[in-house]
Each structure stands twice: as C-alpha cells, then as structure tokens.
C-alpha cells in the first residue's frame, strides 16, 4: 500500500473506532445494557483485525499519519456542531462507524500494485455488517429521545364517565392539571375512534399536555396525537416503529421486570407499571403492587425509562406509591367516575412530588 492508501485506511479505522467508543458508552452509561456494550466493545477491538489481515509490510498505517498536513481537518458541516439529544449523538456515531468501516474495506481491497488484501476486505465487511445490527439495537433502544416523566395521565373511557361524557371528563382533567390523556376505547368503529382521537389531541395541545391513543398507531398518527400505548398482546415496539418511525412516543404496559426489561431494550418511551392495586376497571389476576415499582426503579436499565404506576390508584392510596419512589401515575375510574374529575386530579397531584412537574429523563 502506498502512503495515500495507508493514510486513508488509518483515518477510516480511527473514525470507526471513535464512533464505536461513543456507541459503547451510550449502551453502557445511558442504557445500562451490558450485552450491547460488550458487543460494541468487541466490535471496537475487532477493527484492529482489519489491519492485522494486511501483508506484514502494510500494517503500520500509523507511520503514514499526518494530522497537521490533513486538508480535511478544518472542514466541518453545520450539523456536526450541535446534537440536541444523546439519541442524536448515538445516531451520528452509528453512521460514522459504518462509513469508517466501509472506507477501510475499500482501502484494504484496493492496495496499489496488486497488494490489496482480500482477507482484510472480508474482515472489514463482516465487521461492518455486525456493526449495522449493533447500531440498530442501540438506536431503537434509545426511543424517540423525547421521553418525559408525566405526573398524571388520565385514561379516558366513555363508559366510565359518570354524567359528563368523555369530552367533559377530558376537559376537567386538563383543567385539574393532568399532563397526559390517554384515549382507551376498544369497542369503537374506526371512524368514530379517529374523530375522538383528533378532538382529544387538539384539547391536549391547547393545554400543553400529551395525547396518547390506546393500541392504534395508525389512529394516533392520523389524529396528530403524541403517542400510542400498547399492551403485552398488542403490537411490539419494533412493529410500531415500522409504522410510525420516531414520530410517536410508545408506551408499554408491564406487569413484571422481565416485561419491563424487554420494553426498555426495544425502546419504549414510557412504561406502565402495575397493577398497583385491585381495580374494577380492568381485571388482573395478579396484583404486582408497590414492590414491583420499587424493583423497576432500582434497576438502572428500567429506571431511566419514564413510568406511570397504574391500577386502582386513588387520592387515598397514592401516598403508598410516593413512598416507593413513584414519580407519575395513570388513573382511570377514580377520575372518570368522579362527580368532580378536576378536583380528584388536583388532589392526586397535591400528593405527588411537585419537583417532578416538568422532569425530563436525563440525557434523553
């Protein structure tokens, strides 16, 4: 390899190593995902194998490095100057890693004078494909990057609304301080569901609250809602992303740490954690209780994902969850069925830690 090829190879492999280190640190320190961090670390060390597959006299690419003489050093694009979130950092690093490995592959295959390395090219190609999958896992696990810890999300179902109708309850809940509303109507025809979802999303925008549609990413997108919430028997997070990309927040109902860990790995933006107490709204054979909430908050991989404790929550029992570390709750019957839904919301919020009003998960 001549000096131009060696310099190109050195620069590309440095680019790949640097990007993989950033990705590894995101997996390690942001996601607390040891398996993903280990895979990225292994890939980073694998970069050296590309050089080692070269003929003996071509392996010391560092000898050709000339940073002061590199005409590309001062060149930067505007997009490189600012990253709004750690998700953007990870996405950019993933692209750099792929570019570096592709550039390195072409360099080792195309050495001048017939000294190109087929083995080195194959090594680089195999590593590049491994990194593509690691990149996918990392970017998906980081979710939208817009995750926010809600304090009170009210689940609105017409059949539970005593006398006011669903829109009356929604308006009262927003006036009472709810920072999220979820439309949960499983029996409606699609046209009526879309009509209600559109009205709910518009009301929430007026109040700066989040709007979420149960089960249906297609309805959520069409209505201009902020997110969709799915259960264990509904579409998985990855399938929702294929439909909506990162345009929707995705919430996932969980009843165990195994389900919560899977939701976190798949990139859930919020986890429903429950059921906390027995409830007549939706029958659950097992009550997870506050012990599950404590476990969720004690595990770094799930604690980073915003949560709403759910299931039979009322102003009278929310204090037990606060004592367990709860930062947000989802409530249905206690608000929808109340004579004064707004006052129930205010009472629940009075008993939740005020410091979490606008809490955003650090680094997201």
> Nearest 5 degrees, angle CA 361-CA 362-CA 364?
75
What residues contact 277, with CB distance under 8 A and at least 6 apart?
A: 287, 289, 311, 312, 313, 317
- Asked whether 150 and 180 are in contact (CB, 8 A), the reply is yes
Could you give the residue ranges of the DSSP H alpha helices within the chain? 3-25, 34-52, 86-109, 118-141, 165-175, 190-207, 217-223, 237-244, 257-266, 289-298, 300-303, 318-323, 333-336, 341-350
- Asked whether 258 and 279 are in contact (CB, 8 A), the reply is no
Active site residue 95: no
Structure tokens at 239: 């399938």
Write the DSSP assignment of 254-314 as a string of letters.
ESSHHHHHHHHHHT-SEEEE---S--SSS--SS--HHHHHHHHHHSHHHHTS-EEEESS--
- Asked whether 47 and 17 are in contact (CB, 8 A), the reply is yes
Residue of 187, 185, 254 lying closest to 223 (CA atoms): 185
**What CA–CA distance (Å, rounded) separates 306 from 327?**
8
Options 17, 59, 83, 282, the catalytic residue: 282
Residue 11's SS3 state is helix
Active site residue 15: no
Residue 156's SS3 state is strand
Options 117, 253, 265, 327, the catalytic residue: 253
- Asked whether 180 and 152 are in contact (CB, 8 A), the reply is yes
Active site residue 282: yes
- Asked whether 221 and 248 are in contact (CB, 8 A), the reply is yes
- Asked whether 270 and 247 are in contact (CB, 8 A), the reply is no
**What CA–CA distance (Å, rounded) separates 298 from 123?**
41
Options 184, 196, 265, 327, the catalytic residue: 184
Q: Which residue in this structure is represented by tokens 């518009």? A: 202
Q: Point out the residues that are catalytic.
A: 184, 253, 282
């Amino acid at each position: 390899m001549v000096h131009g090829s060696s310099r190109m190879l050195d620069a590309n492999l440095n680019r790949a190593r640097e990007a993989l280190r950033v990705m590894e640190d995101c997996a390690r320190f942001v996601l607390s995902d040891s398996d993903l961090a280990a895979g990225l670390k292994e890939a980073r060390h694998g970069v050296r194998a590309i050089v080692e597959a070269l003929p003996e006299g071509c392996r010391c690419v560092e000898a050709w490095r000339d940073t002061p003489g590199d005409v590309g050093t001062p060149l930067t694009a505007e997009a490189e100057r600012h990253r709004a979130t750690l998700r953007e950092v990870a996405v950019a690093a993933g692209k750099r890693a792929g570019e570096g490995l592709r550039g390195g592959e072409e360099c080792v295959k195309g050495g001048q004078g017939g000294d190109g390395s087929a083995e080195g090219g194959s090594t680089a190609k195999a590593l590049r494909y491994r990194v593509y999958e690691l990149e996918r896992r990392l970017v998906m696990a980081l979710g939208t990057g817009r995750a926010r810890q809600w304090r009170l999300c009210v689940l609105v179902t017409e059949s539970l609304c005593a006398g006011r109708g669903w829109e009356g309850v929604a308006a009262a809940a927003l006036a009472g301080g709810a920072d999220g509303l979820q439309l949960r109507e499983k029996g409606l025809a699609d046209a009526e569901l879309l009509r209600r979802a559109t009205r709910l999303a518009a009301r929430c925008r007026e109040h700066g609250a989040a709007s979420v549609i149960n089960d249906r990413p297609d309805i959520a997108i069409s209505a201009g809602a902020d997110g969709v919430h799915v259960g264990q028997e509904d579409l998985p997070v990855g399938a929702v992303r294929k439909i909506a990309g990162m345009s929707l927040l995705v919430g996932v109902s969980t009843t165990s740490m195994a389900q919560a860990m899977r939701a976190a790995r798949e990139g859930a933006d919020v986890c429903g954690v429950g059921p906390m107490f027995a409830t007549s709204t939706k029958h659950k054979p097992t009550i997870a209780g506050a012990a599950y909430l404590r476990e969720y908050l004690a595990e770094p991989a799930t604690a980073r994902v915003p949560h709403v404790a759910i299931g039979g929550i009322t102003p009278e029992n929310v204090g037990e969850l606060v004592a367990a570390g709860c930062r947000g709750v989802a409530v249905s019957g206690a608000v929808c069925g109340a004579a004064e839904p707004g006052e129930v919301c205010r009472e629940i919020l009075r008993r939740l830690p005020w410091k979490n009003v606008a809490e955003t998960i650090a680094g997201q």
